[in-house]
Structure 1
Amino acid sequence: MKKFIYLFLLFSLSNSVIAQYIVIDSITKTPLPYVAIKFDKNDGVYSNEFGKFNLDTMMGDSISLYLLGYQKKELNIKNILNDTVHLKPLIYELEEVVVSKKPKITGKIKKYKPEQHNDFIQSHWLFIGAELATLIPNTAESDYLVLKTLLIPVITRTISFDESMYGKAQNVKVLPFSSMYQIKFYENLNGVPGGQIVNEDIIVVLNEKSKIAEVNLENHHIEVPPNGLFVSVLNLGETDENGILISTSPFVIKKSESGKTAKVRKPTKPFFPVYYSEKKNNTYIRFNLDNNPSWEIFFKNGKNRNGEYHNVKFGYEVIIY
């Protein structure tokens, strides 16, 4: 069995008590899950299912909060009262829509397999806040095509990132992990992800127990246009043993021998299999905790090699009517 030696930075974490905050709807007073809370240059966290978050790696004193359907909010943490942040929902004037009952018809189910392998070296990991989008084409030549299931391939055989394994030879093997991802869908805008077309929380927890994660989409009624659409996975962070999101930054604080502190990006499983056979770019990436996130052509480990096309391909099932 092949052995690999990976050098990882040792992390020094503070043992001080970390303040916890909550973000809620300003009208209903209900907690808001999966809010992006940005701070510093390209750091941030996501609120968990209960709207809670902490700012353990924050070095500045201002935060910005973003959630689709709500007004962006910027504030100084000193002005947060009772550890609670209120977000105001956007108000839309909707035109009257007449809904007619569609006749029940039975469609044909067709399955498209993902590009899958379990080679750890030929894979890519997303740090917290990173979003990977890949194209789902409409190859069924049908005007009415609905997504039934999304099939997400993951690498289950990896190495340990634990500090105790620093500088040691490791066998690539199945190791436990659990990370939460948000599924999003976008228009195909001339081969690049465009506007978001589904405003719903579609959440999946990925772990080492399955090489392919199946996400049931039947209750969301996502139609595939003639030119296809993009589906993305956004890394929200690791979960605890109960599957609850651990609100944490993409960075940890490292202290040097001189006493200076610096932020170091931490690896987060799973890794996604990369393939090179398709001679065009169908996969894009962006970093949502950056100040101005924008889609970029995806390359494994961010390395652009001339003449190569790097893609991640999800599988899916569709209902053809």
Structure 2
Amino acid sequence: MKKQFLFTLSAILTIYFSYSQNTKIIVLDSISNLPVKYANVNFLNGFGVFSNEKGNIMISDLNVNSIEISHVSYESKKIDLNKINNSIVHLKPKIIKLDEIVIKKEKLKLLKTISLKPKIHSNYKEMFFSAIGLKLAFKINPSDNKISILKSIEIPLFKKTNDATKNFYPEKQYPYKTLIKIEILESIDDKPRENLYDYIKYEIINSELLNDSFISSFEKSIKIPENGLFIVVTFIGKVDENNLLITEMPYDIKKKYPDGKFIKWILPNIPISTRQNDNKTFFRFDYETQSNWKQIEKPNNYDKNKEYPIFEIGIGYKIDLME
């Protein structure tokens, strides 16, 4: 009986202290007092997360003492978690001065629609994992020296039926639903730079509704400049059955390695292939504010004794050619 009591007390204390170590923060608009959803929360240790639809952030790593919260529509704010008085953080909206723009309306004639299929394969030795905060940038060029309007993109994915990754991911992760953000960046010197258009779109990749690719259509006319543009996809995180973002840490800390942080990979897995012609794919992590865009130099599952070429993600797309 005594042993059972001690075991029960130990279990209760473990649960209590584990829970008490969680830091919960709510991010609100300083004027409207409404939640700021999908704000980028930088742990300043090479990792970060996003606030959910209610502006909630949950941090369960005691070594995270300071964070920086940013959002495209708000001024960034650095927070010392040891000095915060309550769980509420207010962000001040940015004051954006809009210049008057005169738009000349033209009647354009559709010449033809060009469709490029994504590069899909089932070789798990050539794939890229997804993770919270991962950004993928896809270069898309205009076609035939005509006015090129981007209509949709198609991202290749590994299907569950041909995905030989069960050694990396337990089967219980299927089905999955992952929230992504889509933006458009300018292309300078063939690299992604600043926002090209004031365009942000959130979508959910739902494995139960997909086969081997994910299609996102643009409701606005996205004109491709002469030097091309970059479509940027950011992986925000997993969502629940109600399509609400699940607040979780982006890494695990293993007891055997107290200082080691292990990235918490999420689905989907994405096939990669050897880069050809002008097709370029870059990646970086949203919480690495000082990092540069990098090319994919090797798969996530790689042989350290093998030399690899530069890889790309063979994105598909549809372009309307107009005159």
Of structures 1 and 2, the larger Rg is shown by: 2
- How far does residue 275 in structure 1 lie from its aligned partner after superposition? 0.8
Q: 5 Å matches for 1:228-239? A: 228-239=228-239
Tell whether the 8 Å contact from 1:66 to 1:73 is kept in structure 2 after alignment: yes
Q: 5 Å matches for 1:1-321? A: 15-16=18-19, 18-57=22-61, 59-103=63-107, 106=110, 108-142=112-146, 144-157=147-160, 158=163, 159-160=165-166, 175-209=174-208, 210=210, 211-218=212-219, 220-256=220-256, 260=258, 262-276=260-274, 278=276, 282-301=280-299, 308-321=309-322
Tell whether the 8 Å contact from 1:49 to 1:245 is kept in structure 2 after alignment: yes
Distance 2:173 2:260 in 1: 31
Tell whether the 8 Å contact from 2:182 to 2:200 is kept in structure 1 after alignment: yes
Question: Residue 242 of structure 1 aligns to which amino acid in structure 2?
Answer: N
Distance 1:118 1:87 in 2: 45
- How far does residue 19 in structure 1 lie from its aligned partner after superposition? 4.1
Distance 1:64 1:137 in 2: 35
RMSD between aligned residues: 3.0
Tell whether the 8 Å contact from 1:252 to 1:266 is kept in structure 2 after alignment: yes
Tell whether the 8 Å contact from 1:43 to 1:249 is kept in structure 2 after alignment: no
TM-score, with structure 2 as normaliser:
0.81
Question: Residue 312 of structure 1 aligns to which amino acid in structure 2?
Answer: I
Rate the CA distance shift 1:222–1:253 in 2: closer, same or farther, 3 A.
same
Question: Residue 112 of structure 1 aligns to which amino acid in structure 2?
Answer: L
Who is 1:10 aligned against?
Answer: none
Rate the CA distance shift 1:77–1:318 in 2: closer, same or farther, 3 A.
same
Question: Residue 251 of structure 1 aligns to which amino acid in structure 2?
Answer: Y
Distance 2:182 2:237 in 1: 13
- How far does residue 295 in structure 1 lie from its aligned partner after superposition? 0.7
Tell whether the 8 Å contact from 1:43 to 1:250 is kept in structure 2 after alignment: yes
**Structure 2 gaps, min length 5:** 1-14
Rate the CA distance shift 1:292–1:277 in 2: closer, same or farther, 3 A.
closer
- How far does residue 82 in structure 1 lie from its aligned partner after superposition? 4.3
Name the % identity: 27
Moved more, 245-254 or 73-82: 73-82
Question: Residue 91 of structure 1 aligns to which amino acid in structure 2?
Answer: I
- How far does residue 102 in structure 1 lie from its aligned partner after superposition? 4.2
- How far does residue 174 in structure 1 lie from its aligned partner after superposition? 9.9
Distance 2:310 2:46 in 1: 27
- How far does residue 68 in structure 1 lie from its aligned partner after superposition? 1.4
Moved more, 182-191 or 270-279: 270-279
Per-residue displacement from partner, 1:180-211 (whole Å, max 9, x unpaired)?
Answer: 11112211111111212233331122233321
Distance 1:313 1:49 in 2: 32
